[in-house]
Amino acid sequence: MPKFKIKRDDVVIVTAGKHKGRTGKVLQVLPDASRVVVEKVNLVKRHVRPQGDRPGGTVEKEASLHISNVALLDQESGKGFRVGRKYLDDGRKVRFNRRTGAVID
């Protein structure tokens, strides 16, 4: 199973495709398929049957995007950035912004 540098609850920007430029929070990472589900991005309509208390009808939900089409969002500049990993002096492994060197975790 591959190890990705994007985690759940990260804020990302879409870098390619028809949703390019949209931002959102990562709801789910699907490592086996190399995909992520981003909040309010790539919405699709699904027809569902009634089940329990939930009524049937058309539901709009997020579909997954390939992980290569998203990048972490730098809040100051509003641009996406590449992520690196490094060990701090105290031995912790952290993610950092490759452009500015700022530690994310």
**CATH code of the domain containing 59:** 2.30.30.30
Tell me how far apart the alpha carbons of residues 74 and 79 are, in angstroms, rounded to a whole number.
6
Q: Say yes or no to pLDDT of 31 above 80.
A: yes
The answer to whether residue 24 sits within a structural domain is: yes
pLDDT (0 to 100) of residue 67: 97
What is the count of structural domains for the chain?
1
Which residue shows structure tokens 């759940």?
8
What's this model's pTM, rounded to 2 decimal places? 0.89
Instruction: Indicate the residue type of 12.
Output: V
The answer to the question of residue 104 being in a domain is: no
Q: 34 lies in which domain range?
A: 11-97
Whether residue 15 is contained in a domain is answered as yes
pLDDT band at residue 3 under the 50/70/90 scheme: confident
Give the CB-side neighbour count of residue 82, counting CA atoms within 13 A. Answer: 3
Asked whether residue 60 is domain-assigned, the answer is yes
